[in-house]
Amino acid sequence: MLPAVPLPIRETSRYAELTYDAVRAFEWKDAFRIFGELKTSAGAVATETFGDSTTVDALGETTHALEHSILDRVRPTALWESNLVTLLAANLAEAYHPLVPVDVDRLGYHARAVQIGAMEGDDALIAREGEALDRNLKSVRAVVADYVRPARLQQLDALVTELRAARADPERIRLADDVLREVGALRDEVAARRYPAQ
């Protein structure tokens, strides 16, 4: 049986997503409270040496920078850093072959990156991350096709196509939210169908 993804890595990912959501909503008090949990879990990852040292070091550096961004209320940087933590956690989780392939989590990372680009009016970032999102979706489709309804992948594919075609930033932000919701639903469906007893 494959080892489970260590709890500190799972919690680091979860708290990073929650931090992102709080910062995006300008809920700085909540962001700092949630960040405290993130800092604890990321510290445990470093202390217990889960994963390669380069990624663990990057996680520590990004977490430290995120703390200052939240304290100083630098929203774009805090969004970027909290999202980066989700990617670093996914990269660390990959060695443990999690229930849901980490490429599903990477879809969330790229969708949030597009959203950040839309908030900042950064067309180059939107284009680059939109392309990465589309490319990542293709790899996800190949890995999870046996565990999800075709309609789920078709819906996600349609949303990603619509997001990449959008030109107005408010529409991009809304569509990125739709993609993130669909990624969450995909994650749940893969876990339920791949390991129905868990």
Digit-by-digit pLDDT tens for the chain (198 residues) are 456 899 999 999 999 999 999 999 999 999 999 999 999 999 999 998 677 899 999 999 999 999 999 999 999 999 999 999 999 999 999 999 898 899 999 999 999 999 999 999 999 999 999 999 999 999 999 889 988 999 999 999 999 999 999 999 999 999 999 999 999 999 999 988 876 654
pLDDT at 195: 66
**C-alpha to C-alpha distance for 185 and 198, rounded to whole angstroms:** 17
Domain end, chosen from 41, 66, 98, is at 98
pLDDT at 112: 97
- Name the phi and psi angles at 85, rounded to 5: -60, -40
Residues 134 and 119 in one domain: yes
DSSP 153: H
pLDDT at 188: 93
Residues 24 and 71 in one domain: yes
Residues 62 and 157 in one domain: no
Domain end, chosen from 67, 98, 129, is at 98
Q: How far is CA 4 from CA 45, 95, 140, 162, in A?
A: 14, 10, 21, 36
Residues 192 and 105 in one domain: yes
Residues 193 and 148 in one domain: yes
For 5, the domain range is 1-98
This model's pTM is above 0.95: no
Q: 48 is written with which tokens?
A: 């217990």
Residues 79 and 8 in one domain: yes
Residues 160 and 186 in one domain: yes
Domain end, chosen from 66, 98, 130, is at 98
pLDDT at 1: 44
Residues 51 and 123 in one domain: no
- 94: domain CATH number is 1.20.120
Residues 109 and 151 in one domain: yes
Residues 198 and 103 in one domain: yes
Helix, strand, or coil (residue 172): helix
Residues 2 and 92 in one domain: yes
pLDDT at 198: 47
Number of domain units in the chain = 2
**Tokens 């930033």 sit on residue:** 169
Residues 115 and 194 in one domain: yes
